[in-house]
Chains A and B, each alone.
Chain A
Amino acid sequence: MTVAQRSRHAACLEMEVRRALDAVFDPELDEPITDLGFVRSVEVDEGTVTVHLRLPTSFCAPNFAWLMASDAREAVRAVPGVDRVTVELDDHHDSEIVNRGLAAGNDFKATFGAEAEQDLDALRSVFRRKAHVAAMERAVTAWMSADATRTEADVAGLVLADLPPGRAADALVRRRGALGWSSEPHDRVLVDEHGSAVRPEDAVRRLRQARSVRVSVDGNAYFCRGLLATRYPGAEADQSPRDQGDGTTRPVLPIVLRSPKGANA
């Protein structure tokens, strides 16, 4: 290959690698690590790829850090044309342990030894469910906000076919699929943790529970994104705006506060 061909090849492969990393999610925030700005760098040298990851604090939970880093390793490894992959987690209190485990191709238990009792399937499942619950709330809220006469009392009988087409409905169907649930037009939107329709008398409470999950997930996402940009100035340029996904125009902008003038101690 000529120098020009080689650099074109590297640029293409880097794009493929980044696209593969789009499929790696922060399970807690339910967003791709690429959109969050967690991918610090991707370097391509022929078939050898080196990816550096960064997180908002040194003390982010190491199990989530491991999930993202090991998922990234698998995702990049599957890209055609990639022969060797190195994924490294930077500036974390467990960077050494995680990077050693990744380099050796170890799994979670082998990497963390006595601190890990089982693998992370149960943890993944908890957050897959939370992601669904948050998506369910966003879809219901989008439906309610489209017509001012709709109230929380109307949501019990809501079915998927009632939802306006768009991101909120698509996201809900995707999250249902991740849990192995069907998404037929007549399927109820508001379901319990097993995917069964909730009784009408429990509907408001279920919606309220779902709302607290959504508020929590969204809040964590704002916090983590902000901290990343504080920790790594310039990282905000790598972040995509968080998709509210609820079809509403609720920008998270400062509301006007009255000035504290006239106050005294």
Chain B
Amino acid sequence: MYTKDNEKYFVVDAHVALWDARPENQRNIHGKQFIDCFYDYHKNLSPESEVWPYEDYLYYGGDRLMKDLFEDGYVDHAIFQPALLGEFYKSGFGQTEEAIALAQAHPGKLTYNHVFDPRFGEDGLERFRRDAERMKLKGVKLYTAEWQGNSRGYSLADPWTYRYLEACQEMGVANIHVHKGPTIRPLDRDAFDVADVDKVATDFTDLNFVVEHCGLPRLEDFCWIATQEPNVYAGLAVAMPFIHTRPRYFAQIIGELLYWLDENRILFSSDYAIWTPKWLVERFVDFQIPEDMAEYTKLTADIKKKILGLNAAALYGIPVPDELQVRPAPDQVEREAAAVA
């Protein structure tokens, strides 16, 4: 929880990871390229005081995660969104068993989402069913740009993906987090195209599709889809740290999202350990749309509360203390009316 100016914010970090990118776990050059790319993201968009040494960044372990999120970072609940990257890392990038053990040790604080890959076909589907049961999954994280054998990506609109999503429906795995990386399949299309999200969101209306980094670098296509599909949500991973380096740009992203979606479908995430939640939460609570951007709606404390935690809590059924819920709208209207009088 974070408190500022007598307002209390319940914080859900909807995208965190526990990875191992140490050289001994790298399968090939791409393992190094991948973590180096992450580290450049981290270094480029973090305030100088928050930049980690490269060695720490390769692997930080569960204790450090607990401290960064819950002791220092104001986070009340965090959700693991792993990427396995089996072609790049020997035991995978996201450390499945370590994260599950941590979530089991702190059930009120951590939720573990797992992954599936439709290219594993029938066997993978069986395994996914077993995983969903054992891990008590409420959500999955799909990285459509994951390499596998000769394939360098898949589409949500593939028939096999549909089979897996049907299994999600059956098993109550309701939250589908989609990470659009540079999917290379086929290579002649736009690698970041989010059109397949549109198709599955229409066909699976009882599932929630959270598009990570709100479709960036295709914010416009994402906004257009989300306008038409009420079960599509924006995850703020990657967008958040612009609050430091490019606050005016951050204002435009948030402004666009609030215009095209609404305040109930935007989820805060730090993308830990790419960034740490402490400074992001502090700055977001202090943030306001600049005066000269009259085209965008102002960020009220209630909107910030929803984005920082209440929206994700609603999706995942995370209990929120009464005092941290947004005040009922009628009270607000009365108070504003009183203030005017």
Interface residues of A (CB under 8 A from B): 28, 56-64, 93, 108, 112, 115-120, 122-123, 126, 130, 152, 208-209, 211-213, 215-216, 218-220, 222-223, 226-227, 229-231, 250, 252-255, 257-258, 260, 262-265
Q: Is the CB of B182 within 8 A of A59?
A: yes
A58-B290 in contact given A213-B220, A230-B43 (Cβ < 8 Å): no
User: Does B120 have its Cβ within 8 Å of any Cβ on chain A?
Assistant: no
Considering only residues 243-278 of chain B, those with a C-beta below 8 Å from chain A are 244-249, 252-253, 256, 259-260
Q: Which chain A residue lies CB-closest to B3?
A: A264
Contacting residues, chain A, for B30 (C-beta < 8 A):
58, 93
A262–B34 touching, CB < 8 Å? no
Residues of chain B within 8 A of A223, CB atoms compared: 217
- Given A93-B30, A116-B186 in contact, is the A215-B256 Cβ separation under 8 Å? yes
* Size class of the contact patch on chain B: 35 or more
B27 on interface, CB distance cutoff 8 Å: no
Q: Name the interface residues of B205-221: CB closer than 8 Å to any CB of A.
A: 216-220
B265 to chain A, nearest CB (A): 16
Of B110-118, B169-177, B281-289, the stretch lying at the interface with chain A is B281-289
Q: Are B223 and A212 in contact (CB under 8 A)?
A: yes
Asked whether, in the complex, the Cβ of A63 is within 8 Å of the Cβ of B191, the reply is yes
**CB of B310 to closest CB in A, whole Å:** 18
B297 at the interface (CB under 8 A from A): no
B224-249, CB < 8 A from A: 224, 242, 244-249
Contacts of A262 in B (CB 8 A): 4-5
Interface bits B161-184 vs A (CB < 8 Å: 1, else 0): 000000000000000000001101
Does B295 interact with chain A (Cβ within 8 Å)? yes
Question: In the bound complex, do residue A219 and residue B34 qualify as a contact, i.e. CB atoms below 8 Å apart?
Answer: no
- A222 contacts across to B, CB distance below 8 A: 242, 245-246, 249
Q: In the complex the two chains form, what is the Cα distance from A126 to B188 in whole Å?
A: 12
Given the known interface contacts A60-B182, A215-B252, A252-B248, the answer about A123 and B190 at a Cβ–Cβ threshold of 8 Å is yes
Write out the residue numbers on chain B whose beta carbons fall within 8 Å of the beta carbon of A211.
256, 295
Q: In the complex, A61 Cα to B260 Cα: how many Å? A: 27
A95 to chain B, nearest CB (A): 10
Q: A108 to B249, Cβ gap below 8 A?
A: no
Contact A212–B220 (Cβ < 8 Å):
yes
Q: Does A59 lie within 8 Å of B34, measured CB to CB?
A: yes
Q: Is the CB of A216 within 8 A of B184?
A: no
Q: For the complex, what is the distance from the CA of A152 to the CA of B44, rounded to whole Å?
A: 36
B residues less than 8 Å from A263 (CB atoms): 2-4, 282, 285
**Cα distance, A182 to B302, chains bound together (Å):** 48
B188–A63 touching, CB < 8 Å: yes
B189 interface contact, C-beta 8 A = yes
Residues in B neighbouring A130, C-beta threshold 8 A:
220
Partner of A226, one of B216, B245, B287: B245
